[in-house]
Structure 1
């Protein structure tokens, strides 16, 4: 009896004296050759360093669609996703089977829809992609959703191209090796996969016409037209393309205080984040609500209200 009492007291003492274990979380990102993964890594570090009992790591995923689904089903605490995909999830339209439990903490930066071809390709327009071997992006990625939606908006069905389901790295490798005629990468300007390809291969990025861009923006309000200057990538001429904001998503039932703390920690340390990910120059308090049609999480909205009063 004495021994069992002693054991019980020891267990109680340890329970009282030991600090509570930190909660373990993940943030859904994308492939390691994109911007989402390093951005998720620096966000996780900022939160780990500034929120008590918080431990997060960046997780490689198929990006937007997978991240939204995992956040909605509480398999990830947060995720990075393209705005058009998040709107489709919020509204419950394809590729989502129903309305997802998702909200936005804050907008991050605009993603550009970039159709890559070899510099000597005879493909000079989006229309000429019909019948060609085109990488449309990995299954479950926002790249694939955007590529298919944009082509459809311009009258090109998925069945009109010989579509391949490749991620960023596989797309650039296949293009370099002549295994595809064109590839789509939807990412920030200067995204690593295209930057690295342009260093070893001569490439072009197809330019959308003003009429095509107007049609895309009219049909998909989450997009905007963007003029990209020459030499954004080595030897790549200027081009025009549709762009859509990336956002940081969370479950709409996330604890309000935690959402507030994550938002505050990110903006309190935004200079550190920008040292790692230059494109986060667009991640500002003024841009938090850039994605229209879906509300900010109440915790994020509370932080925004404090900063704009």
Structure 2
């Protein structure tokens, strides 16, 4: 006896087959695995990037992981060349790479790098001993000895330039933060100027041992720096340090995740969707992901957005100017 399938069942089976085939076709050009360029092991970039890679790999059924690199500047070069699918960077090195001014490849415009999503901010802040009488940037005396953190760090790359723009003349010193904090306390430095996560242990330690001034940017200084550098306005909450009685107005540099612009649009759309729609999961990877939310997409004005990422933002009501989409 011949069995026949009801017409509705045939239609449903056909639809399921079509959907499965469509899904298969959509993923046909997806990479089978991917790597995320992070930075040195143990740092925020490594923890954040490796955790995010594992999350995306699980979510999309792929193989992926974070990889130790030299950090933001090298990540731009690795993503541009296609050696890595994804990477983490800050807006300063990104602007340099887009202008052909990367120290790793002078003259090479890295135009195969596209923005994905905002990560978190790295604030720039200035500290001096209260006994110095330095209470504002304009109080910093000519020839002041300023510690800018480790050589070639984001802090050392951008903070000296910002202070020069604001008319400060100084002697530049480098070193680890705890070492520079000790030098400040011993009178070997006049100021420490850092770009790092807050609270900075070196400053917290100084507060315990002596009186310090945590120096804000004036409104005019803030406007000048915002105009000249790829930074955003930031307020260090008064609760960060015992010295502060009110929020301290400074600037910060945003960190963004990026992708190779030639990655498939559907793939990058799904990566962006998973990241932007699961902030609880992102915060469980690293607490700094509290700001890994679509509202902060406005803080990238440097890298073009990948069309796949831009599509997710557009569908969810976050407008990106056409000039900022690859």
TM-score of the aligned structures, taking structure 2 as reference length: 0.72
What is the CA distance between 1:227 and its match in structure 2?
Answer: 3.2
* 1:25 paired to 2:35: yes
Determine the C-alpha separation between the residues in 2 that align with 1:29 and 1:275.
Answer: 20
Taking only aligned residues, the RMSD between alpha carbons, in angstroms, comes to 3.2
In 1, the alpha carbon distance for the partners of 2:267 and 2:250 equals 37
Unaligned segments of structure 2, at least 5 residues:
1-30, 319-326
Of residues 228, 233, 243 in structure 1, which corresponds to 2:236? 228
1:28 Cα deviation after fit: 1.8
What is the Cα deviation at residue 306 of structure 1?
3.1
Would you say how many aligned residue pairs link Structure 1 and Structure 2?
Answer: 279
Secondary structure of the residue aligned to 2:82 is coil
1:134 equivalent in alignment to 2:143: no
- Please give the residue correspondences for 1:242-257 in structure 2 after superposition, counting only pairs within 5 Å: 242-257=251-266
Aligned ranges 1:249-288 → 2 under 5 Å:
249-288=258-297
Q: What's 1:300 paired with?
A: 309
Query: 1:105 Cα shift?
Result: 0.6
Matched, 1:49 2:58: yes
Q: TM-score scaled to structure 1, two decimals?
A: 0.75
Using the TM superposition, give the Cα deviation of residue 217 of structure 1 relative to its aligned residue in structure 2, in angstroms: 1.9
Question: C-alpha separation between the residues in 2 aligned to 1:107 and 1:209?
Answer: 27
Structure 1: segments with no counterpart, 5+ residues: 1-20
C-alpha distance in 1 between matches for 2:302 and 2:174: 29
CA distance in 1, matches of 2:228, 2:96: 13
Higher CA-based Rg: 2
Q: Does 1:92 align with 2:100?
A: yes
CA distance in 1, matches of 2:75, 2:142: 30
> Deviations along 1:35-82, whole A, 9 cap, x unmatched?
433322331231232232322125253x33233233223344322222
| Aligned equivalents of 1:23, 1:271: Cα separation in 2 | 25
- Cα 1:115/1:260, change in 2 over 3 Å: same
Residue of structure 2 equivalent to 1:107: 118
Which stretch shows the higher mean deviation, 270-279 or 89-98?
89-98
Secondary structure, in 3 states, of the residue corresponding to 1:99?
coil
